[in-house]
Amino acid sequence: MPASTGADALAAVDVRCRGSIAAPRVEIPKADGGRRPLGIPTVADRIAQEVARRYLEPYLEPVFHTDSYGYRPGRSAIDAVRRARQRCWRYDWVLDIDVKGYFDSIDWELLLKAVRHHTNCAWVLLYIERWLKAPADGGQQRRAAHSRNAAGWGH
């Protein structure tokens, strides 16, 4: 998708041009009895996210590992389970990784640096940065950039 097409589409739905608007949040129950906040994107956000996805996907899809199934075109959780079943018959070990809270602790500048490695498209970078810094419901920023420890991880 040419940058002008994406930029034009975003301009038509850009309600955040003067700053970030707090996304409504609800808390959903977790298996361990806790609760997890879940942001509810606005229609404009969903449209903008889809435009950015369509722009970035052709650049990023080729760099994903073949065993990556989450949010990939033409791949599903069922495909991942099918592959795991095939491997269960060939290997006698399992590696289980829990990425609990990972997005809350990822270094935003490092993430933006990785995106910049694949595109220099100004509107894409602008929107990704806005989404990262969008305040939670109530106007509080999800995580201040300075709330990281020396290793770059959130508290």
Model pLDDT, residue 78: 94
Residue 60 has pLDDT above 90, yes or no: yes
CA dist., res. 19 & res. 135, Å (int): 10
Query: Across residues 65-84, what is the average pLDDT?
Result: 90
Model pLDDT, residue 145: 41
pLDDT averaged over every residue in the chain = 77
User: Distance between alpha carbon 150 and the CA centroid of its chain, in Å?
Assistant: 24
Task: Enumerate the β-bridge partners of residue 135.
Answer: 141
Sign of CA dihedral 89, 90, 91, 96: negative
| CB neighbour list of residue 86: distance below 8 Å, 6 or more residues apart | none
Residue 16 has pLDDT above 60, yes or no: no
Residue type, 7: A
8 A C-beta contact, residue 114 and residue 132? no
Model pLDDT, residue 113: 95
Model pLDDT, residue 22: 65
Query: Across residues 102-110, what is the average pLDDT?
Result: 83
CA dist., res. 151 & res. 130, Å (int): 24
Residue 75 has pLDDT above 50, yes or no: yes
Residue type, 132: L
Sign of CA dihedral 113, 115, 118, 123: negative
Reported as half-sphere exposure (CB side, CA atoms, 13 A), residue 104 has a value of 10
pLDDT band at 97; cut points 50, 70, 90: confident
| CB neighbour list of residue 68: distance below 8 Å, 6 or more residues apart | 75
Query: Across residues 8-20, what is the average pLDDT?
Result: 52
Higher pLDDT, 66 or 38: 66
Model pLDDT, residue 136: 60
DSSP notation for 50-114: HHHHHHHHHHHGGGS-TT--TT-TT--HHHHHHHHHHHHTT-S-------TTHHHHS-HHHHHHH
